[in-house]
Chains A and B, each alone.
Chain A
């Protein structure tokens, strides 16, 4: 099977070269046979890369340890779900995964895009083929998953225990889908530049794609936070690690693009800026991959350092040069149709929102790269860790939160003072009341108090928008409030879905602010001993160590430490934290006898977590004292963590409301029988 996979990769390489050529030439010369060929090539590319992927999956499932990749990331004892996840768990497999998903998206873009954008499609095929070509080439020449060993090991190394978590089954693919799908809006942007068709058509064509990218990135980042929280055992979910930052950067610029694109659609402005944003987002998605795979910046999440970094660096330079040249050559065609008229307008607030989003992206990028810059300029290595990022980015983040509330309340073009008064009086009043209450009850963390105040301001603004819209429908149409809400949202999903997304952002901020009140302590406890902690909500928790039990469980040996938890003297439950020892087999027997297994990794730690709306109780079994049941624990009380995951869910719901096809579009599709070719309807 690996021979077939290898062959499929070579065919994919040739197809990608062909697709690149016929896409660009067909688009430029408008030759129908080449245009058709470029479209068919994208379908064929997906087909052959699917064959390559299935070949690797077969090798993984069959435990073909003669394949270096299979031996490196799996073993016989690994549960099947993680064997399948190992497809994208290592460097070479993830590159193949990237290639096949990109080919799928490229084929879908060709298949689903309405006919009125046909003039863009050959160029889109050209761009996606070039990017696929790059990834296939890196897979073939930099990190080939089909490489065979000179011998066949009895068992594989197994997957890193910290990756054996349900979060790791879904988090990497989601993030990859986000990174990869960015290529499609970028390809349409480049197609618009190449074809010189720079009206808003290309923006309409990518509306769904940019939302899909943004949603996948959001889900991927949130799942990454969740995985870090439940698996890494440090009691937090974001550490400003370079690889985390790399995923955050395209999210920031894509968010900026989602906002600024509205200004181009409504007012014909920011055309250059939007091209820069979508190109920047694509470049940052490749840059993130470069950071993860080059080893240029030290990170716990990085793949093994390898030569693929040079491929990515070269590709990055190529993209930046090509895009810059293309943009410069098209500058005269990107002049704005109208001009911004007032600083007190929604356009201006979106502009400032863009400035801050890109500013945060710049500050994160600058901080991530500063160790390299410092070494180049001063010859001195420095570390840029969480204290730096928090100090620089929290004020910027609060500015963004404020603008999240301000933007939707201001009218387009120009807002009068009476309009501003009417729109802002309730939200500002609500924010101030919350600030006063928090100060009065003695909350002293400055940033947290400001966050809660701004959150109240934004939420009040959103509630006001909904209530006014519902009220107007109720008055004019006599609809019930629930009906009015449903119809109002259905008629303008983009606007009200956007508000739901804003609610999710507010919930995120509130949850992040909760971490300012995090408390933790270490204790060594004999069985029966207890220790007390006081939480920020005023509860007194008592943790009693019940003992440590050991035994086999699935593919590992587990040492489980158990504590009983009391809140204000009342037992609320027991929490178990574990040490897990994983093994490989010394003989080729399936299943492997326990006495013939040898430890493969250092024991990993599984935190025990009890969540509720107020705070998480986070218990970590650090180890035993002198090999006895006396256990060392770290107890952490994390306020408001649950709201991070809840905020993520709201964000996704809002995003889905925004991108859901309107009932009119669906009806048109059914009537015309063109369900595959959605008719885009402009919304105001």
Chain B
């Protein structure tokens, strides 16, 4: 890559780029260089295919974020195929998604097709239907009920208890005064 031919090419492509204004795009800026073979290709991980537009397509990326890779990694298809480069399952599932999209299927149809093939476990989150609703609503429901009960009992106690009502006459102490008070009490060993 450092020979004179490629340097000349670099220079020519740089000059050409300087003369022709190019809009900023997400596409790679092309170089005409040939890539040299690696000394030990098999120790540089599994061979990869060139990246196409599909790999970065926001629709596909979002869709694959909802589908679980079935290799046992617990990751979604997008994260697995862009992280675990030893996995052969997530690239295959990605190709399935691309193929379904090319066939004109919509997002929900693609998801349904995966559920039909692999079962509900292929979804990264349970469908919001039937028993699964308990997964979503139970924690919030429990917190709301317990919180309401605490609030109700406190309000009720405050209304009924003369001691509690009398506590409202406790003089206000601001943070500065309180800090001094605490310091003095600490000195006294309380």
Q: Interface size for chain A: under 10, 10 to 19, 20 to 34, or 35 or more residues? A: 35 or more
Do most interface residues of chain A lie in helix, strand or loop, or is the interface mixed? mixed
- Chain A residues near B19: list those with CB within 8 A: none
> Is B45's CB under 8 angstroms from A422's CB?
no
- Chain B residues near A81: list those with CB within 8 A: none
> Is B167's CB under 8 angstroms from A342's CB?
yes
Q: Which of A463-481 contact B (CB under 8 A)?
A: 464-465, 468-473, 475-476
Decide yes or no whether B146 CB sits under 8 A from chain A. yes
- Chain B residues near A525: list those with CB within 8 A: 28
> Is A634's CB under 8 angstroms from B35's CB?
no
Closest B residue to A297 by CB, please name it.
B74
> Is B142's CB under 8 angstroms from A528's CB?
no
Q: Out of B26, B35, B74, which one reaches A300, CB within 8 Å? A: B74
* A423–B48 CA distance with the chains assembled, in angstroms: 60
Decide yes or no whether A532 CB sits under 8 A from chain B. yes
Q: Which of A362-381 contact B (CB under 8 A)?
A: 362-363, 366-367, 370-371, 374, 377-378, 380-381
> Is B136's CB under 8 angstroms from A392's CB?
yes
Q: Which of B149-190 contact A (CB under 8 A)?
A: 150-151, 154-155, 157-158, 161, 163-164, 167-168, 170, 172-177, 179-183, 185-186, 189-190
Contact with A along B7-51 (1 / 0, CB 8 A): 000100000000000001111111101111111111111111111
> Is A684's CB under 8 angstroms from B185's CB?
yes
Closest B residue to A412 by CB, please name it.
B170
User: Which stretch (A248-256, A440-448, A620-628) binds chain B?
Assistant: A620-628
* A416–B168 CA distance with the chains assembled, in angstroms: 7
Whether A472 contacts B176 in the complex (CB less than 8 A), given A383-B68, A384-B126, A531-B28, comes out as: yes
CB A374 to nearest CB in B, in angstroms, measures 7
> Is B45's CB under 8 angstroms from A366's CB?
no
* A469–B181 CA distance with the chains assembled, in angstroms: 11
Count, chain B residues at interface, CB 8 A: 92
> Is A528's CB under 8 angstroms from B132's CB?
no
- Chain A residues near B147: list those with CB within 8 A: 352, 355
Q: Which of A133-174 contact B (CB under 8 A)?
A: none
- Chain A residues near B41: list those with CB within 8 A: 624, 627-628
> Is B126's CB under 8 angstroms from A527's CB?
no
> Is A532's CB under 8 angstroms from B26's CB?
yes
Closest A residue to B154 by CB, please name it.
A343
User: Which stretch (A12-20, A206-214, A597-605) binds chain B?
Assistant: A597-605
Closest B residue to A582 by CB, please name it.
B43
* A300–B158 CA distance with the chains assembled, in angstroms: 51
Binding site for A on B (CB under 8 A): 1, 6, 10, 24-31, 33-51, 55-56, 65-66, 68, 72-76, 79, 82-83, 85-86, 119-126, 130-132, 135-136, 138-140, 142-143, 146-147, 150-151, 154-155, 157-158, 161, 163-164, 167-168, 170, 172-177, 179-183, 185-186, 189-190
10 A/B residue pairs, CB under 8 Å, sorted by A? A340-B154, A341-B161, A396-B139, A469-B176, A472-B175, A472-B180, A526-B33, A527-B1, A559-B40, A684-B186
Would you list the 9 A-B pairs with minimal beta carbon distance, nearest first? A472-B176, A627-B41, A363-B139, A628-B35, A559-B44, A623-B48, A469-B179, A385-B124, A630-B35
